[in-house]
Structure 1
Amino acid sequence: MLTRFFELRASEAPENQIAKDNGLPRYPQSVPLGCKTKRWVRRKQFQAALGRMVHVSPRDMERFYLRVLLCHCKGPQSFEHLRTVDGVTYETYRQAALRLGFLEDDAESISCMREAAEFRLPYQLRQQFTTILVYSQVAEVRQLWERFYDDLSQDFAHRYRALLRQEKEDMIKFKTLKSLNDLLQISGYAVADFDLPQLHDFPALVLDSLMRNNLIRLELEGYDQNTLQAIVDQEDQLNEGQRAIFDEIIQAANDPDQGNKLFFIDGPGGTGKSTLLRHILAKVRLAGKIAIAVASSGIASLLLMGGRTAHATFKIPLKLTNKSTCAIYMQSHLKGLIQRASLVIWDEAPMTHRHAFEAVDRTLRDITIYTNIF
């Protein structure tokens, strides 16, 4: 269909003049596509028609920008002609679309990153960078990466400062990309989906990374130790009730084989529940243990350090029954993370249907080979 449209556009025949004056979406209004012949045939009688093009995800970059050009350019003659602007033939459709002004510039993204770089930690800045990639149409991803690479990789530059020059540069870039890749995977993306340096450029480091559980590594290395220590140093500010709960839960996390392992914290709004949870998480993580923080809603998860929704963390099905289980596989990194966890905090738990708790319970007992109810 598309190649035939190009042929008609290139033709000098008078009856094909309409192909030169219209883009592909408007072309079927006058010249429909024959169902049997798969050829464009001029209408004999007027008929209102709407041309529709198949949706293309922005993740499929070349096809997406090809679609953008087809929707806006009138009468292209070939694929190469689509990529030609003012006599210059560009290598990609995205470059041509950018040159024609069909894409917004990245001024807002740059301003957002520049402001955040002044006060955010490198890991937080990488979180923001991935959010921009996933939810914004960044025109020049590579330029945005290069502009803020030093800020994005600052913690790794400090950690590996003792390595030799080339080894150090490779390690810093790989670790930064690996961290971005882990964050992108949370939203179903990867570094390979964007115009960024690729992980396969560092085969030896990739092989070494594959031997480790990335989720465990992220939990153990993803929190700033100074921030955790600052929270722990404020434990004396907990009131009597908070302190009693804090001590009991920390004791259970340190000695899980004895005593009660299930706690329910209840209290009116403004009584310090979120503050208590922040202190508990900081204490456990500063001790080198893994604490999984989840909430029943996305907004509630934002109040927890490293928090995510329970559905995203435990892979809880959206459609629940009294026999549902979670999609956690025996060989997955998530299974290893749960097995290593010393503590799970579930905020706003009463908001969740009982079938969700039962599904998580069945799954946890299955992957940990534990017969008692969690």
Structure 2
Amino acid sequence: MRLLLTHKKGPKSYEDLRTIDGVMYETNREAVKALGLLTDEATWKETIMDIINHTNDRKQLRETYASMLVFSDLEDQSGIWEEVKDYFSSDYLHIANLTDYNDEIYLDALDDIQQHVLNCGGGSITQYGLPASRGGVRPSNLIRREKAYNKQRLKESVEEKTKLLNDKQRQVYDSVMGRVENRHRYRNNGVFVNAAGGTGKSFVLNLLLDTVRSQGEIALAVASSGIAATVLSGGRTAHNMFKIPLMEYDETKSCSVKKNTEMARLLQQTQLIVWDEVVMANRNMLAALDITLRDIMDNDEFMGGKVFVCAGDFRQILPVIRNGGKTEELAYCIKSSYMWDGLAKLELTENVRLKKGDEKNTKFAKQLLALGTRDVGELFFEKGLTH
């Protein structure tokens, strides 16, 4: 109205004030726009870039931008947000210790802008063309980190890698994803993948993790050892991830995770848990996680109802028991756990490392598998070694 009163001479009524070139507009803004008095978007972009170039204080930048949203005469500011949203969010990227921007980082900046807009007497930032904020509910750093994956990039990777699955790998993938997408169709929410070296176990586990994460959901990856954890995308040791306490071999404790903590909220939102090299783990470690998840989820389902995928090869290392022998190792491995019967058993058998037509390597791979299953027969070695 101020602009109209300043630029239009002798209006006799509100209707006359909004009439431009014989056309009466419903609102003052439309009339001002028809007169060409609204500042164009390029001017505001230039102003924002001047601020960016002269200060590293991103909070001050967001405060200034919020003031512009409320008091400027620009009709739609979505173009400005889309062009410079990385600048508005760069401090949150640093705080989260990430290298790539994602929706959670942008939402942090939008939350802050929304608060400043309200302080200036404005309303929702959506009325200025910006995306909606969370409304004050911010995720913890733990949840933000587990949701920090580039969903579009993961979707493209999943699409390519699913084409490479062989029949056994496809069976494992479909079985696990079926449980993630429709848990109630299956009797077991736990799966054990028996996979010898070279059968593509890590490939399948990482593909499962990527698929769940590409959907914006949380998937946790752990292993029984640090070396094995590095093979998984976002992998950590089970002790580190779940705060599993150090235990004597004959005792069972829960994990050091209390309700109403950030870690508990992360576990509540988790859709998939992957545990690699599980045959190395003491059965009490698994029991501790099971007890903790049942408590956090307030139910009595296995692993609190979470889809739980564990993998390993019993031909390799069993739990290491101090001063123990074969009997003790078997007594504390996962097969001796109460949860073993409740796991669906799947198997990978095709050695994908072998080149087609490489008869020597194929024979050697079969000999190793035979050795692990005690179906030895005659083992032939090269370079003059006898069998």
Higher relative contact order by CA 8 Å / sep ≥ 6: 1 or 2? 2
Q: Which has the higher strand share?
A: 2
Q: Which has the larger radius of gyration?
A: 2
Give the structure-1-normalised TM-score.
0.47
Give the structure-2-normalised TM-score.
0.45
